Copies of this chain bind each other. A is one copy, B any other.
């Protein structure tokens, strides 16, 4: 094999292992991921898989990094409508995550918490998705509110996503998503300065 062919072959097998791992993840969740099973499904010997990924953690972190990149791509295609881009971007986020629940869980650490936290690739990729999600907040809020507003937006979409993909919400909850974003914009009486009153005890 010429060096060029070998390089092509090398990249091709890596790609194939990743797509096989992604399929296994989608089918059976993070806890079912093993390098041995990925190699078996890809039709290669286990040592070949270890040649591409030092261990299962490395494979899982690469999948998570790719997941955040896919999520960012989905956010970029969110439409700008009469509500601006923030609510449509939030809806695009939830739509993507609901279509990829096992990958979404892996991205947030399930089964591989230490590896995901330690991966610079995941941090960078997540940062890009995160930035797209909150684009626009800085045009609308004073600087002093940005850290809390960013955390609020990220918490809201993440929590809504997790409740939906874990079936922890009431039946029909998904149809409420546009209303949830409308209420988040208007404010709900969780604290002071609400137009709904703040009588103690409520």
- Residues of A participating in the B interface, judged by any CB pair closer than 8 Å: 29, 31, 80-87, 90, 108-111, 113, 117, 126, 135-137, 139-141, 145, 147-149, 151-163, 166-170, 173, 176, 178-194, 196-202
Partner of A113, one of B87, B166, B187, B201: B166
**B86 close to A191 (CB less than 8 A):** yes
8 pairs, A vs B, C-beta closer than 8 Å = A82-B200, A86-B190, A86-B191, A147-B170, A151-B169, A181-B190, A185-B188, A185-B193
Report B-chain residues with C-beta under 8 Å of the C-beta of A190: 86-87, 90, 153, 156, 181, 184-185
For A169, the chain B residues whose CB sits under 8 A away are 151, 154
CB distance from A113 to the nearest CB of B (A): 7
Q: How often does this chain occur in the complex, in copies?
A: 2
Q: Give chain B nearest CB distance to A158 CB in angstroms.
A: 4
How far in angstroms is the closest Cβ of chain B from A86?
Answer: 5
Q: Which of B113, B137, B178 contacts A188 (CB 8 A)?
A: B137
| Complex Cα gap A135–B161 (Å) | 23
Cross-chain contact A166 with B109 (CB below 8 angstroms): yes
Q: Are B182 and A192 in contact (CB under 8 A)?
A: yes
Determine the chain B residues whose CB is within 8 A of the CB of A186 once the complex forms: 187, 191, 193-194
